[in-house]
Amino acid sequence: MPLSMPQTAPDTLTLTRPDDWHLHLRDGEALKAVVGDTARHFGRAIIMPNLKPPVTTTEQAQAYHDRILAALAATEGDKARFTPLMTLYLTDNTTADEIGRAKASGIVHAVKLYPAGATTNSDAGVTDLLGRCAAALAEMERVGMPLLVHGEVTDPAIDVFDREAVFIERVMQPLRKAFPALKVVFEHITTKDAADYVMQAEGPVAATLTPQHLLYNRNAIFQGGLQPHWYCLPILKRETHRQALLAAATSGSQRFFLGTDSAPHARGLKEQSCGCAGCYTALHAMALYATAFDMVGKLHNLEAFASHNGPDFYGLPRNSDTITLVRESYEVPEQLPYGNTELVPLAAGQTLPWSVRD
């Protein structure tokens, strides 16, 4: 899908260095291949814990944190300037003590809820949130540790395209009623229902938005044939939802902030009979977001979305340096090295109207 050139907006935009509030970095060779892409433009990122096995303890989070910094130093050398913000993977067995250790560590900044079976490596996820996790949630509410939510029900009777909307009713509302002061981030929202819910909810609720859900609707998955590199979870929705998400992201509301959900999978694991979910955007996220904001004449609200609202919600300082975006064509590479295989970024081979001045 061609991304249209905007008309009346500045050609250069300098903003406080952004952070990515939802990122998959993987581990081992994959980690080494991708970490530099995020560190190039972002100051910090919230690191998802859905490794195999998942990161369920503070001790595991500390070890993963150290592997990330080692991988970064190995690829970027002296240029390494990036802080990974670690998360724990919530399970039916997460204790209040573990939440206490996480808070005390200073490196764990949130806990992630994957409903069991919802997405990649979510088998160890939660089966009954209020029934099994009440002690952990109460402690998180008490110490101000945000819960990051993959907001889809897993009930096979619910249509894949309706799973986020149904989640609001079945899980989000009861959760927020039981723990009204718990900070909750509704991750990678994909529907008008979720955008409206977050906009109107009382209490400390926010949402992250990915570049793909701002730029594309579900037609992109079927454009001229099956397009596996546009397949992620929650799946792209219809155009009315895309428009509502873009309106929310660019509205200036403090409740919406940047979270790429950049999720690398080797080319062969996406281009096969049962392909993995995830879009790789760490490389060109800021160009994609600038393109989306520019399409609706809202570049002036990009800095709040990318660089202010996230740290403000998490209670962290904003970054003190800047990056500069320029209206210069950026050709998205056809593929990138990924260990001994390769990775296809979102919109591979296409030209974006914005780039980051390195």
* Comparison of 278 and 311: residue with beta carbon closer to ligand DOR: 278
Task: Supply φ then ψ for residue 190, to 5 degrees.
Answer: -130, 0
Tokens representing residue 28 in the block:
């081992």
Least distance in angstroms from the C-beta of 234 to ligand DOR:
7
Q: CB of 353: closest distance to ligand DOR in angstroms?
A: 26
Closer by beta carbon to Zn ion, 112 or else 327: 112
List the strands of the sheet with 205-209, edge to edge: 20-23, 44-47, 83-89, 108-113, 147-149, 184-186, 205-209, 256-258
26 labeled binding residue: yes
The answer to whether the annotation marks 284 as part of a ligand binding site is: no
Is 112 flagged in the annotation as binding?
A: yes
232 interface partner picked from Zn ion, ligand DOR, none, CB below 5 to 8 A per type: ligand DOR
| Residue 278 contacts ligand DOR per CB under 6 A | yes
Of the pair 42, 231, the CB lying nearest ligand DOR is at 231
Q: How far apart are alpha carbons 198 and 202 in whole angstroms?
A: 9
| Residue 152 interacts with Zn ion (CB under 5 A): yes or no | no
Question: Contact region for Zn ion (CB under 5 A) — 241-249, 256-264, 319-327, 337-345?
Answer: 256-264
The full DSSP string for 222-273 is GTTS--GGG--SSPP--HHHHHHHHHHHTS--TTEEE---B----HHHHSST
For residue 120, the partner it binds in Zn ion, ligand DOR, none, with Cβ less than 5 to 8 A by kind, is ligand DOR
How many residues make contact with ligand DOR (CB under 6 A)?
A: 10
Which amino acid, 185? V
- Beta carbon nearer to ligand DOR, 68 or 302: 68
178 or 221, CB closer to Zn ion? 221
Closest CA to 9 of 300, 332, 317: 300
- Closest approach, Cβ 345 to Zn ion, in A, equals 16
By the rule CB under 6 A, 150 interacts with ligand DOR: yes
Tokens at 228, concatenated: 């596996």
DSSP 153: -
Min dist CB 210 to Zn ion, Å, is 9
**Separation between Cα atoms, residue 279 and residue 281, nearest integer Å:** 6
Instruction: Out of 27, 261, 294, 358, pick the active-site residue.
Output: 261
Structure tokens at 72: 């970064």
End-to-end CA distance of the chain: 27
Sequence length of the chain is 358
Q: Which of 261, 280, 281, 354 binds Zn ion (CB under 5 A)?
A: 261
**Where in 98-137 is the site for ligand DOR (CB under 6 A)?**
119-120
Measured from the CB of residue 303, what is the shortest distance to ligand DOR in angstroms? 27
Q: Is 50 annotated as a binding residue?
A: yes
Contact 41, 67 (CB under 8 A): no
Of 184, 233, 244, 292, the one binding ligand DOR by CB under 6 A: 233
DSSP string, 286-343: HHHHHHHHHHTT-GGGHHIIIIIHHHHHHT-PPPSSEEEEES--EEPPS-EEETTEEE
**Which one, of 256, 330, 253, 250, lies nearest residue 293 by Cα?**
250
- Give min distance, CB of 173 to ligand DOR, in A: 21
CB 288 within 8 A of CB 50: no
- Between CA 98 and CA 32 the distance in angstroms is 29
Report the residue from 23, 32, 49, 50 that binds ligand DOR according to the rule CB under 6 A: 50
By CB under 6 A, tell whether 41 contacts ligand DOR: no
261 an active-site residue?
yes
Residue positions forming the annotated binding site for substrate: 24-26, 50, 150, 233, 265, 277
Residue positions forming the annotated binding site: 22, 24-26, 50, 112, 150, 188, 233, 261, 265, 277
> So which residues are the catalytic ones?
261
Per CB under 5 A, residues contacting Zn ion are: 261
Per CB under 6 A, residues contacting ligand DOR are: 24, 50, 119-120, 150, 232-233, 263, 277-278
Residue positions forming the annotated binding site for Zn(2+): 22, 24, 112, 150, 188, 261
